[in-house]
Structure 1
Amino acid sequence: MASSSSVAAVDTKPDALRQSRYHMKRCFARFTAKGKRLMKFQHLMDEIEQTIQDKVERSKVLEGSLGDILSATQEAAVVPPYVAFAIRHNPGIWDYVKVHADQLSVEIITSTDYLKFKEMIFDEDWAKNENSLEVDFGAFDTGIPSLTLSSSIGNGLSYVSKFTTSILNKGSESAKALVDYLLTLDHHGEKLMINETLNTVAKLQPALVIAEVFLSAFPKDTPYQNVEQK
């Protein structure tokens, strides 16, 4: 999810870069010098500190618009000559930008583009494969209260799980929506989660209990093929 305020902040980045172009070129040169890698916020700050050793000059850079953006950066994906930033200004509010290290040109990109760019660090062929799996959790946005506290950052999955569980525990009618959804998931006609033999809540619940008991007897690293036909 993106907000107009966060996008506006990102739009100021070209000006921020021009304010201290000399220092920024040195910083981005350092970011890309080690090749492909994923950098967290502290890594970025360490690199900037080593690049701009003069505290006064470094403060000028970090107190400007660029500093505001860097302070909200959660990670940066480096694939020379580009560095892509994942920026979170508020809980659940993300923006993504890609910067050319030599030209300092800035491009606002989508979350999909960022994830593909990030994947190039680890497997470039997979990142460029049009058949690679992409999971969109946007469906969870509807009807779920938004997180607003900074302390909620990093706890989104737990929150969604608790919220979903509370809905499902209200009764079989609520759980039926999940069963119906699981039945729709298929790939080239092959069911991915459950088939028609488990098409009701009453059938699925005991089957899950039995499956959990059965699988608990196997080591966690057991290949799927060893239990597929069970």
Structure 2
Amino acid sequence: MSEPTLPPLAPPTAFGLSVRTALTMLAFTMAFTALMAGTYLATRDTIDASAEQEKLRLINDILPPVSYDNALLRDAVTLDTAPELGLPKGATIWRARKGDAPVALVMEAVAPDGYSGKIRLVLAVMHDGSLGGVRVVEHRETPGLGDYIDPKKDKNKTAPWIGQFAALAGSDWKVRKDGGAIEYRAGATISARAVTNAVARAAAFARADQDRLFRQGVQP
């Protein structure tokens, strides 16, 4: 007697194919997510340390490391809003000290009126009210014209434009065209004025509130 034959398998339905495809994609997504999460956890400390080193390098461009001895990046105060700095959603201000004595406030600021939009800055205001220095960290000013505000783009490497701010007093925080001490390049007054005015506002804010800012919060 011959063996019974099994009926042929029914072809997969569209629903079945969709389910199988969905399960395959889900498994792939879960595996990829787990891989990415594992990579992030494995490299997070290295990434954080690198970001801190870069931030500290930038700060040390405007504030000599020998002028302070505290862990500056951990001695900070956070403000919920700082319109004087062009930061309505809040700001972090780092406090430099030496032997527990106040040395300088380091802060970010934004000039809203650059020729091509916002210009982001970082500056140090010394405890005597003078400027330690200023750096432009982000801008969209015209290449070859207004971008000299950024020392990386300034063709004058021996005396970049931004270096004028170091040690300036309050009465000088204007471009020469407005009666101040800051020189500007022909054809690019708007960029220089935007940076200068933002620096003046931020420095005036720091000078007026420095005692409160140094006391606020807990010193690490």
TM range (shorter): under 0.3
Higher helix share: 1
Give the number of the structure whose alpha-carbon radius of gyration is greater.
2
Q: TM-score, normalised by structure 1?
A: 0.23
Higher strand share: 2
Q: TM-score, normalised by structure 2?
A: 0.24
